[in-house]
Structure 1
Amino acid sequence: MKLSTHLVSAPLHTPFVTALRTATHAESLLVSISDGDHTGWGEAPQVWKVTGESLAGAQACVEGPIAAALDGLGPDDLTDALRRVQGAVQGNYGAKAAVDVALHDLAARRVGRPLHGFLGSTVDVVRTDVTLSAGDASALARAGIDRLNDGFDVLKVKVGTGDAAADFDRVRRIREAVGPDARIRLDANQGWTRRDAVTAIRALEDAGCAIELVEQPVAAADLDGMAWITDRVSTPILADESVYGVRDLVAVIRLGAADLVNVKLAKCGGLATARTLLELAREHGLGAIVGSMMESHVGVGAAAALVAAYPTSAVNDLDAAWWLKESPVLGGIRYEGARIHLPSAPGLGVTGLAA
């Protein structure tokens, strides 16, 4: 098998602003693996503020220890290849995810099936929420209306900015603007203390803002704090940065730290681990969604294929590629408002890099 890496920078149609950063481009490392007749694709996004991984590091990891681990292995040995990828290096989850997805994509193409079908699904459409780019209360209210007009009905709002009163005002104004039918979920990105989280969430509950869920209210390592919050509010709590792999999810389950878990390929290392996480969550009564980093149609396409095969308990967070002004690849998924259409072509349906 021939493994290649490709650095891409895809412009966004609208700047993506959060409390952590402002993005105007999606920077990613695309990985392709070819057997001579077919080529599989995967993606490692650069997410300094979440995983701490860079494109340079991912590229070095893929071209170095991961490539060495796969050396001499034939394209029919998917299970062995996936095991070797995970064992090639510590951490480097984005690099592992890129190669894991490329190997799955290649395997699906070799049998002539779309990736979601290869994973066991006959569903070819999945739904996503959309994040409202950060701004003042008036700007967010206008953005909420705009996204409803774009065909979305689940809005994700970034909070945890350090000003709880301002957070409350933003969410209240958004709810007033979009009406009672749209679902609103919040993402604090670890920005609250446990007491601030309970105060803010209870205030929103008392105000009738009807928040669907709150994602990662406190620091990733503070599972006791998240359990304390979960026990004191009615709104479901979603663990994100607290869960990378199976060991993390076991700890969340043991402590009762959250009601749901957000599974991301670039955070857990690929489809193989993601499937285990979703199955483990289901077995223990936890809800789940599948999320994305700032990825292109390759990474989001793989996550959408996973969702098609492993249905989740809430609408997923797969709007990343919707923000792109143009895709860095040809083919793949297609957005129609909140609906992501999966390709009928083999694998991810990607046919190559865009010009």
Structure 2
Amino acid sequence: MTITEVRCHRLTAPLHTPFVTALRRTEHLETTVVEVLDDDGRPGYGEAPQVWRVTGESLAGAEACLSGPLADVVVGRSVDDLEDLTREVQDAVVGNFGAKAAMDVALHDLAARCGGLTLVQLLGGEAGTNRIATDVTLSAGEPDELGAAAAKRFAEGFTVLKLKVGTDATTDVARVRAVREAAPQAAIRVDANQGWTPDEAIRVIRALEDAGLGVEFVEQPVERYDIDGLAEVTAAVETSVMADESVFSLRDLRAIIDRRAADLVNVKLAKCGGLGVARQLLEQARAAGMGTIVGSMMEGPIGVGAAAALVAAVGTTQVSDLDAFWWARESPVVGGASYDGGFIVLPDAAGLGIEGLSG
């Protein structure tokens, strides 16, 4: 079971609806898939999405990292050494978290396939744990557009709605009100994607509270490096505040905990570098009394399937944010995870259950 080859593939899939946040607008899923093969021809898959405004990584950069220094680490080795291999992948390069996450997931996928286990089982979860609740994102837009989208998504079975705001603080309350009126029974969470100043965040969140709109939490209200501003917002409002772009590493999370800068954290594989680090982040946050979710960053079924397997194995305190490839018009892979209303469904097959790449 020696790893003999590392291959990289670029996948692009059109979205059925434009994905719009305070940071970006995209109409395509763009990702680098890494395929790790052993000497019996078994593959393991992982992926690194291109998200310029969050991780700064490109498809070309991920491919260079995966086919260069990360391939040098794994070729000629066995996934029997999974713990050592994944640690060496983390240490092989600085940054490049998406590429590291792709290789890390591919190694876990291959190890699970070799052992005849689902990825959930490999991560310590129980067999048959394969339905994971997810929210669905409502792209930034005008109130009437958001209201219509909220009603449609709720009717489709999504009971947790994540509303993208932060594009215009003066009208964000109207946006949330429109969603609440359109989907009165839904849980609503708000994501500003760094779009507010601390003063704007406090003003908008207090207005949401005064309006009684029942917001579950507000995600990343201020610029990612402004930990003091994040702490200021958290201390000034009653609504829970979540850190997302502010937390890539364990050191980042420790800074948030020490400053009491947020109440919850959103852990994403492409930000932190893989399943092992993600698990440590969840455990560290839980030990500090913070709430947790696992998120996704416009990955396909490979990255989202791995994130969902982590949730199935270790759990989170809130419904996670795993709707990324729901936006794709069609799956770029054969097999793997799928959606059933507000749930992501993991296959019972070994590993991630990916049979191959489409086309």
State the 1:70 CA deviation: 2.2
Alpha-carbon distance between aligned partners in 2 of 1:118 and 1:68, rounded to the nearest angstrom: 25
Instruction: Show the counterpart of 1:315.
Output: 319
Aligned to 1:56: 60
Q: Secondary structure at the match of 1:165?
A: coil
Deviation at 1:69, TM superposition (A): 2.1
Query: 1:157 touches 1:171 (CA, 8 Å); kept in 2?
Result: yes
Which one of 266, 285, 291 corresponds to residue 281 of structure 1? Answer: 285
Structure 2 CA distance, aligned partners of 1:316 and 1:277? 15
Return the letter of the residue paired with 2:148: R
Q: Which runs of 5+ in 1 are unaligned?
A: none
How far off its partner does 1:248 sit? 0.4
Partner of 1:340: 344
User: For 1:81-96, what aligned pairs fall within 5 Å after superposition?
Assistant: 81-96=85-100
What is the match of residue 136 of structure 1? Answer: 142
Contact 2:112-2:350 within 8 A present in 1 as well: yes
Quote the residue 2:173 is aligned against.
168
Does structure 1 conserve the Cα–Cα contact (< 8 Å) formed by 2:11 and 2:30?
yes
Q: After superposition, what is the alpha-carbon deviation per residue over 1:87-128, rounded to whole angstroms, capped at 9, x for unaligned?
A: 110000000000000000000000101101111112211010
Please name the residue that 2:162 is paired with: 156
Cα RMSD of the aligned pairs, angstroms, is 0.9
Structure 2 CA distance for aligned equivalents of residues 211 and 169 of structure 1? 13
- The Cα shift of 1:134 comes to 2.0
| Distance in 2 separating the partners of 1:230 and 1:134 | 23
Tell me the amino acid that sits aligned with residue 33 of structure 1: V
For the residues of structure 2 that align with 1:26 and 1:249, how far apart are their CA atoms? 28
Task: Confirm or deny: 8 A CA contact 1:7 1:30 kept in the other structure.
Answer: yes
> Sequence identity of aligned pairs in percent?
59
1:16 aligned onto 2:22: no
Report which stretch shifted further, 244-253 or 77-86.
Answer: 77-86
SS at match of 1:4: strand
- The Cα shift of 1:75 comes to 2.9
Provide the rounded CA distance (Å) in 1 between the counterparts of 2:193 and 2:19: 15
Deviations 1:209-252 (A, max 9, x none): 11000000011111111111111111100000000010000000
In structure 2, which of residues 5, 24, 29 is the aligned counterpart of residue 26 of structure 1?
A: 29
| Structure 2 unaligned regions, length at least 5 | none
Please name the residue that 2:217 is paired with: 213
Report the TM-score when normalising by structure 2: 0.97
Where does 1:34-49 land on structure 2 (aligned, <5 Å)?
34-37=37-40, 38-49=42-53
What is the match of residue 99 of structure 1?
103
Residues paired across the two proteins, number: 353
Distance 2:264 2:25 in 1: 27
* TM-superposed deviation, 1:19: 2.6
Q: C-alpha separation between the residues in 1 aligned to 2:124 and 2:25?
A: 38
The SS at the match of 1:164 is: coil
Q: What are the equivalent positions in structure 2 for 1:187-206 lying under 5 Å apart? A: 187-206=191-210
CA distance, structure 2, for counterparts of residue 345 and residue 321 of structure 1 = 20
- Cα distance in 2 between the residues matched to 1:129 and 1:33: 31
The separation in 2 between residues aligned to 1:150 and 1:25, in whole angstroms, is 22
**Secondary structure of the residue that 1:100 maps to in structure 2?**
helix
Matched, 1:7 2:10: yes
For residues 117 and 334 of structure 1, what CA distance do their matches in structure 2 show? Answer: 18
What amino acid is aligned across from residue 175 of structure 2 in structure 1? R
Q: Is the 8 A contact 1:7 1:29 kept in 2?
A: yes
- On the 8 A contact 1:33/1:41 being kept in 2, the answer is yes
The whole-number CA distance in structure 1 between the counterparts of 2:169 and 2:292 is: 27
1:296 corresponds, among 294, 297, 300, to: 300
Query: Which residue identity is paired with 1:321?
Result: F
TM-score by length of 1: 0.98
Deviation at 1:303, TM superposition (A): 0.2
- In structure 1, distance between residues paired with 2:62 and 2:193: 24
Q: Which residue of 2 aligns with 1:70?
A: 74
1:234 partner letter = E
Structure 1 residue 64, shift from structure 2 partner: 0.9
Alpha-carbon distance in 2 for matches of 1:210, 1:5: 45
